[in-house]
Amino acid sequence: MLTKRRKFMKKQNVSIRDVAQAAGVSIATVSNVLKGTGRVSEPTLKRVWNIVNELNYTPNPYAQKLFHKEPVQREKTGMLMRVSYWPSVSPIYEAFEKDLLFEFDKACREKNYLGTSYVYRDEKGFQCTQIVKGLIDGVVLCTSHLDLLKTLKGRLPAVLLEVPASEKELGYPVVATDFESAYIEAVKKLKELGISGRMASVQGVLRSANKNRIVSVCDPFSQVADKYGEPISPERIIEFETTSDTAEEDGIVLAELLKKMIREDGIRIIKVRSISFPSVYQNLLKLGVRCPEEAVFLPFFNEPFSAPGVIPIIPDIPLLISKAVEVLDRYINGKETEIKKFLVPVKKLDFSGISK
């Protein structure tokens, strides 16, 4: 099978017959897979889609020539797609996706596009008929999964939105929240109020979300600590796996660990990016930790979280998505060609929890 794939990958124009032969199925089966018709088993479905993606097959000859950089102008369809990734199904994901979908549709309409969405899952692989058929002008990627990056590379313009890696690592332009500026503002404000000390970073990773994904080792908070305080040593960087089902339990364990770091190691300012933070905070209070007297937290939140000793950093989701669509439109129309990062300011820094 590997030999067959290599042979077809050398061809300039891959046909449906080539896909069928490489996948070991009939032409009719490939046609059914791409159309979403007929009865095809899950293993066969995934195998055919893997071959389609690997060979960069498209039934549109104009799109084929575009991919191979032949001088043919592809006709635009006026459709943009947002591709996201769900490691599992949960109410948190569903609520967040609903908000993103609304904002994406709104941003697309403002640029005279029609927006649509696709959710990628590891067990199925990439099975997006609209992209294979050349029906999408550009993609906003909300995940840095390698399978997706490899599959979409060269097919159509794409912009990555709020992913934990740099544009150089990804090979795609990136639109992201300017967390570094927000952390600098927060740390400066704390110093004005006489609050300073060692810093720590707590990062919760949704279980299986990092699978086969590019994740940067560069943390904006660590860079800020280097400039405006004591550098964060490895033992003060906590990373752990979590799920929406274990958030409460994780909060209890983390609270015990952070209490020790606060009382014994002199940790004073803590950046937290985890769905477990509300549980962490409540359990620290139960353990007798006083905020902001002993500790101040800088949590990343999509919604406001007001509490003593907490400076919530709230991203501007509508502005992020609007910027992503604006940038994607520029790449589609040739107004941008360089791979770079576009930063968006945070929506709000709430200092009410530490103001004296």
User: What residue ranges do the domains of the chain occupy?
Assistant: 1-57, 179-314
- The strand pairing partners of 141, in sequence order, are 83, 160
Higher per-residue confidence, 15 vs 108: 108
For residue 68, the model assigns a pLDDT of 44
* CA–centroid distance for 75 within its chain: 29
pLDDT for 3: 46
Tokens, residue 39 = 């009865």
Q: How far is CA 173 from CA 7, 167, 221, 340, in A?
A: 32, 5, 22, 5
Does residue 110 have a pLDDT over 90?
yes
**pLDDT, tens digit, 9 for 90 and up, residues 185-208:** 999 999 999 998 899 988 876 555
* Euclidean distance between CA atoms 206 and 242, whole angstroms: 5
What's the predicted TM-score (pTM) here? 0.76
| Surface-to-core class of residue 297, CB atoms within 10 Å of its CB (0-12 exposed, 13-18 middle, 19+ buried) | buried
- Tell me the mean pLDDT in the region 96-111: 87
- The 3-state DSSP composition of the chain as helix, strand, coil percent (nearest 5) reads 40, 20, 40
Of 114-118, 239-243, 293-297, 321-325, the poorest mean pLDDT is in 239-243
Say if residues 224 and 185 touch (Cβ distance below 8 Å).
Answer: no
Domain formed by 179-314, architecture: 3-Layer(aba) Sandwich (3.40)
CATH number of 1-57: 1.10.260.40
Please check whether residue 207 is in contact with residue 243, taking contact to mean a CB–CB distance below 8 angstroms.
yes
Q: Which amino acid is at 159?
A: V
How many angstroms from the chain centroid is the CA of residue 76? 26
Which stretches within the chain are classed as H helix? Answer: 2-9, 16-23, 27-35, 42-54, 61-67, 91-110, 129-132, 146-152, 167-170, 179-192, 220-228, 247-264, 277-286, 317-332
